[in-house]
Amino acid sequence: MDTTLQDPLVGQTLDGRYRVEARIAVGGMATVYRAVDTRLDRVLALKVMHPTLATDVSFVERFIREAKSVARLDHPNVVQVYDQGAQGAYVYLAMEYVAGCTLRDVLRERGALRPRAALDILEPVLAALGAAHRAGFVHRDMKPENVLIGDDGRVKVADFGLVRAVDTVTATTGSVLGTVSYLAPEQIESGAADPRVDVYACGVVLHEMLTGEKPHGGDSPAQILYKHLHDDVPPPSAAVPGMAYALDELVALATARNPELRPPDAVALLGLAREARAALGAEQLDAVPPRATEGAHVGAENRTSVIPRALPVDGGAAASVRHTARFASPPLDPPAPRRPRRRPAVRRGPLAVVVAVLLVLGVGTGLWYINSGQFTKVPPLLSKTEDQARDRLKEAGLEVGKVRHAYSDTVRRGTVISTDPGVGARIRDSDAVSLTVSDGPETVELPDVQGDKLDRARDTLKDKGLEPGMVTREFSDEVERGSVVATDPEPGTEVRAGTAVALTVSKGSPVEAPDVTGDDLQDARDQLAEAGLKVKVASGQVTSEYDKGQVARQSPDPGEQLAEGDTVTLTVSKGPEMIEVPDVTGDSVDEAHDKLESAGFEVHEDRGFLGLFGDEVKDQSVDGGDKAPKGSTITIKIR
């Protein structure tokens, strides 16, 4: 059954602009719809907060904070936010619509992925999170459901609904927002959230992509949370024999239970992921994975929810995750993640013995020298400082070539972005390797565009290497309609090149919508035009108390504040509903009132001098059996 048919928003238009066409997904805090922006004629995703939460000020603030935060993250791997607003009980975000599927859909259908595919997804995710981390934000709810894979292959991170500033103190409320399968131990213990919680979640997602299963399972959320606190994430090779050691190490570093042992943010983890890729051969990258266990990707542990920090742990009703962590085991200060054991050395066969003897005798030493002694490989240098890279090259017997510098939004200043030849490339001993070192993100001073028309302000921002971001409109008595009132960040702020700048644009002085209900249509048009408003006439007509051709209702309602040039939609009356008048001649006054009022009429008594003390209806203004407009007044004469 198509449940969208039961959704009251489907088919409606929010804010007179966003026509809701279908429901895409339902989450713990909001519902996402496919909609059409009728002004720009483009398809987008509309994320609408559940009306039950819209009355909670803290949730609404978090929802609006998502819009402002993501609008400032102008990154190709972050789902873009276009607009934010509210209509009645509906608080919404208008976002980029990504036609495709989620990583959860891929894992549910295919199970484990080949390492190459897993890294192809992980790297853009880390690039997006890295941009957020460097901008001062933490996602806090990374999971496969929030990784969108477009039909064109692009990977984007969505749902920054739990995003918050890195330096914002988390209140001790006794609960934590998140998804149990991807929560870092410190989130469970104290609700703490810095970039390393996203690193931990990405390590869990990588494990799931490589093995087809989550690292920690359980019959209840409490069991899963307990394992996050007390058990290391197992190496992928435990589930997939033959998995490359570099991938085991990458997962172990990202999911270390002690946050001090993890990479500090997604940028650092991205550098390690690229190093791991460079260390793998084609056979290792394209190794065919096993199928996932049926049901491995379904369950409540995939849903974002409010999770108490003290949950009962199986085996003791009075125990809690916090209590158990404190008393049932040593304090949470785990050692470094266990590195997977290296495979035992392969036993030498007869051929190897023969080769060794020949080498001892000097036979074939020229061949050995040519194939091995003259060549080496470029060592892993990405994300290393320039000094560290120089030391590694020296240890490998290689020279440092040209050192170039380039701006980078994702690679830390002073560390290596790339090498020439690339990492892992075969190179002769003593040859030179050129380095490209990051100068960090390019920064520019935000120009003052206040008072400029919107198009000119956008051009100015682009000329400075910035991106025009979300546009919010508000009334202003001081700034003319269509001109910029303010920017976020403020003018003069030093920001990264490519940063999206949110613009607040004037709607001009407010115009109060005049009341034109009951007016003839042309009179209503003239009155609205005189107020500086446009008119749209609804296609259908309705029955009403007003005569045919008069305005039955208007939207927005009379008295609402509008901007000059806004549109008022008028619905025309096709006249009142005509109903049959009961015959009350000869009835008592009370009986006449009951009959006429039950039929939908008003009653007026005409007693005259002779009827002051009478109680019988002598006549009625509309004869019984004839029709009159519903709600009209019937006069009865009394004698």
Q: Which residues are marked as active site? A: 141
Reported in sequence order, the residue ranges of 513-629 that DSSP labels E, i.e. its strands, are 534-537, 551-555, 561-563, 567-572, 578-580, 602-606, 617-620, 627-629
Surface-to-core class of residue 219, CB atoms within 10 Å of its CB (0-12 exposed, 13-18 middle, 19+ buried): exposed
How far apart CA 175 and CA 183 sit, in angstroms, is 13
SS3 320: coil
Of the CA atoms within 13 Å of residue 272, those in its CB half-sphere come to: 22
Give every CB contact of residue 82 below 8 A, 6+ residues apart in sequence: 37, 44, 94, 95, 96, 470
DSSP state of 385: B
**Residue entry with tokens 């970039």:** 195
- Strand, helix or coil at 528? helix
Cα distance between residue 612 and residue 320, in whole Å: 83
Q: Which amino acid is at 520?
A: D
204 vs 216: CA distance, rounded Å: 9
H/E element holding 384?
A: none
Dist CA 460 CA 451 (whole Å): 13
Residue in the block written with tokens 């400029």: 452
DSSP 410: S
Copy the structure tokens of residue 91: 């608080």
Rounded CA-CA distance 442/43 in Å is: 33
Long-range (24+ apart) CB contacts under 8 A made by 129-132 are 129/157, 129/195, 129/198, 129/202, 129/265, 129/266, 130/265, 130/266, 130/267, 130/270, 130/409, 130/410, 131/73, 131/75, 131/77, 131/78, 131/409, 131/410, 132/73, 132/75, 132/78, 132/160, 132/163, 132/266
Between CA 605 and CA 436 the distance in angstroms is 97
Dist. CA 124–CA 111, nearest whole Å: 20
Contacts of 43 (CB under 8 A, 6+ apart): 34, 35, 36, 37, 97
β-bridge pairing 551-555 and 578-580: unpaired
Amino acid found at 156: K
Asked if residues 588 and 616 have their Cβ atoms less than 8 Å apart, the reply is yes
